[in-house]
Amino acid sequence: MEIKCETAFEAWKKALKYLLEEADNYVDKKGRVGKEYLNLTLKIDSKKGVEKPIEVLNSFRRWVYPPLDEMKSFILGKKQVPGYYYNYGDRAFNPEWRNQVDDYIVPLLKLNPESKRAVVVFYNPEKDSYLEKKETPGMIMMAFNLRKKKLHATAVIRSNEMFFGWPGNIYQLSLVQDYICKQVNCEPGTLSTMSVSAHFFNEHLDEIKQVIDMRR
């Protein structure tokens, strides 16, 4: 299933509505009940207002969502962020391991703008493929395609809680897209997420229904 919308907020609403009406019942390892759909793609044409789903979550005043600056450091920072099992920036930009963005993607796109190899991988089997591992990256990879002077960005997410998790994922994807655009001197294109397990939990059902009923 692919959902195409102009903005992140529209895509978020449609995805939640689709899960509510069409997805299968689901129980996770912690016993939480919800809905799940396998392989759900969301594609937005404009990054304008990409923060709005986060703003809506904060408006419920039920959770403390990470501030935008903290989320930026989580995806663009080169060091491990204290208090987290992992952070994406450490895996994408870490100069001690491999700065995948500055040392590979940016030079690659400058040399070969039509390349299909501009990929950042967050999952590291040497760190993550252990049965006793408590947390592993939900976002497995990002891919970037420069076409007609616009950079299109796609994230593949193995497990995506669509109500609470997706707003952060799409925002972080947009930050990396912006970063690369500035280095390559191009305009941002579409933003897409492909969620292998797209799901939500019934404990958020009241708020999910409120989001679905919201106007722009």
Q: What is the pTM of this model?
A: 0.91
**Each residue's pLDDT tens digit, 102-153:** 999 999 999 999 999 999 999 888 887 788 777 788 899 999 999 999 999 9
Residue 80 pLDDT = 66
Q: Report, at the CATH architecture level, how domain 2-213 is classified.
A: 2-Layer Sandwich (3.30)
For the chain, what are the domain ranges?
2-213
pLDDT of residue 17: 96
Locus of tokens 């990879």: 141
Residue 7 pLDDT = 95
Q: Which residues of 132-156 are buried (b: 16+ CB within 10 A; e: fewer)?
A: eeeebbbbbbbbbbbeeeebbbbbb
Closest among 40, 43, 50 to 18, alpha carbons compared: 40
pLDDT at 85 over 60: no
Of 118, 78, 77, residue with least CA distance to 94:
78
- Residue 128 phi, psi dihedral angles, 5° rounding: -105, -25
Between 131 and 72, the more confident residue is: 72
At residue 192, the pLDDT reads 97
212, 14, 13: which is closest to 2 by C-alpha?
14
Has residue 64 got a pLDDT over 70?
Answer: yes
Torsion sign, CA atoms 158, 169, 41, 55:
positive
Would you give the distance in Å from CA 16 to the centre of its chain?
16
pLDDT of residue 38: 97
Residue 78 clears pLDDT 80, i.e. is over it: no
Q: Cα–Cα distance between 136 and 130 in angstroms, integer? A: 10
| 72 or 126, greater pLDDT | 72
> What is the reported pLDDT for 216?
65
pLDDT of residue 97: 75
> pLDDT per residue over 171-197, tens digit each?
999 999 999 999 999 999 999 999 999
* Model confidence pLDDT, tens digit, residues 11-56: 999 999 999 999 999 898 889 999 999 999 999 997 788 999 999 9
**Residue 99 Cα distances to 41, 102, 121, 165, 210, angstroms:** 28, 6, 11, 25, 41
- For residues 115 and 52, what is the distance between their CA atoms, to the nearest angstrom? 32
Partnered with residue 157 across adjacent β-strands are: 139, 195
